[in-house]
Amino acid sequence: MRIAVVGVGHVGLVTAACMADLGHEVVGMDDDAAKIASLRVGSVPFYEPGLPELLRAGVDAGLVRFTDETADAVPGAQVVFICVGTPRREDGSPNLSYVQAAAASVATHATGPVVVAEKSTVPVRTGERIRQALRLEAQARGDDLGHEVVSNPEFLKEGTAVADTLRPDRVVVGADSAGAHAAMRALYEPLLERHPCPYVATDVRTAELIKHASNAFLATKISFINAVARICELAGADVHTVADAMGHDARIGRAFLNAGLGYGGSCFPKDVEAFVHIAAELGYDFGLLRETDRINREAKQWPLGQLRRLLWNVADKQIAVLGVAFKPGTDDVRDAPALDVIDAVIADGARVRLHDPVALDGVRDRYPDAVFCDKAEDALRDAHAVVVCTEWDEYRAIAPQRLAELLVYPVVVDARAVWDHDALVAAGLTVATVGRPTDAAAQS
């Protein structure tokens, strides 16, 4: 089939590459001419394993090309994926003006009926707004080509986005007509042949809700275990064993029960707030999700509290921060919990020594006074304490004895539980591990 993808950020580019891998003919379009120019020479502007290779294969097969003109991308397309950004407004609601503009430009440039598929995460009932934008533009042009609107949410995680798209747990398609459902089913048929999985065909509103409900549920799971972590610290118990044992219950599952620094990234924080907002607009106070968000904000302040407890005054100390990406396997620092930690430590008057294997470039401008270190050991050397903010594997490989040698004061705040708590204590380090008893609780 012939497909256009409007907005080639993380979601759009992965969608374009994967659709081409399924044999479809794809045009990726973005207003950002510089981004398009670099994509044309094969450069992917962010870190996503497997994506550059998949895109190159699509381009070599003549199935993918890029343009910065809607007039070049849309004519002839049967399905247009809208993958533009939905930035958060001050009040937590998403700004949908890029979605509206994308829809209007599809109607302006379409030469035949198009299925407009929302991939950007949007609040329930946005499909109706897109339909309205298409209709208004059609009226302005004086012709109504009968475009359809579908919701086809993605569930891709950064770092495993290609696999999540080509081998999904489920495909969700919301449409309000048999014709739109048939077009989307035809689009996904090659994927379902390769990788049979549940195909959930529903109406547009339900599909929109599935996306928000899924992300909000996962975020709530994380906040739940972070709240349990606080109790474990106070009570003298081990949250990681609690999570493992809970996870053996098939009804609960172990995934997304890693206590730590809370959730970050471009999706969970924004989606939780947006879901609360749309619920309120519809007349429902989603107090559970407001609490999920509150616990997450609190989780990001945990390291500073521990540093104050263990160092007394944080001012004028050097603090090594290991990891700035919002999770391992990505260079993305959007809403990364590490940023809250670094901001708080700097506000307390400390100097930070930062390390991350791939994400440091994303924070250089934000922290002009920080020391940027190419190696984790360089960050640790001369630091009075270390805080682990991202659980990169290379940090796990640092031996407790080596930590003790490098740090000026032997103070470790392990907010992602990368090290064995008991091994650190045995090496003579003063340790706060998320979800493990504090010294006071251990002794009582």
Please report, as ranges, the residues that interact with ligand UDX according to CB under 6 A: 154-158, 215, 218, 222, 256-258, 260, 262-265, 267-268, 326-327
Q: What is the DSSP letter of 58?
A: H
Structure token pair of residue 123: 């609040």
Within 10 angstroms of residue 40's Cβ, the number of other Cβ atoms is: 14
Q: Which is nearer to ligand UDX, 186 or 288 (CB)?
A: 288
Q: Which is nearer to ligand UDX, 157 or 351 (CB)?
A: 157
| Residue 146: CB minimum distance to ligand UDX, A | 31
Catalytic residue positions? 267
CB neighbour class for 397 (10 Å; exposed up to 12, middle 13-18, buried from 19): exposed
What residues contact residue 13 under an 8 Å CB cut-off, 6+ apart?
A: 5, 28, 39, 44, 48, 51, 55
| Residue 161: CB minimum distance to ligand UDX, A | 8
What CA–CA distances, in Å, run from 224 to 213, 257, 293? 16, 8, 11
Tell me how long the chain is: 444
Residue type, 35: K
> Do residues 113 and 150 lie in contact, with contact meaning Cβ atoms separated by under 8 Å?
no
| Residue 170: CB minimum distance to ligand UDX, A | 11
| Residue 384: CB minimum distance to ligand UDX, A | 26
Q: How far is CA 304 from the centre of its chain?
A: 24
> Do residues 28 and 2 lie in contact, with contact meaning Cβ atoms separated by under 8 Å?
no
Phi, psi of 120 (to 5 degrees): -55, 145
Q: Which is nearer to ligand UDX, 158 or 233 (CB)?
A: 158
| Residue 268: CB minimum distance to ligand UDX, A | 5
| Residue 256: CB minimum distance to ligand UDX, A | 4
Q: Which is nearer to ligand UDX, 66 or 268 (CB)?
A: 268
Q: Which residue blocks in 156-286 are alpha helix, DSSP H?
A: 161-166, 178-194, 204-235, 239-247, 268-282
CA count, 13 A, side-chain hemisphere, 315: 3
Q: Which is nearer to ligand UDX, 114 or 418 (CB)?
A: 418
Q: Which is nearer to ligand UDX, 127 or 265 (CB)?
A: 265
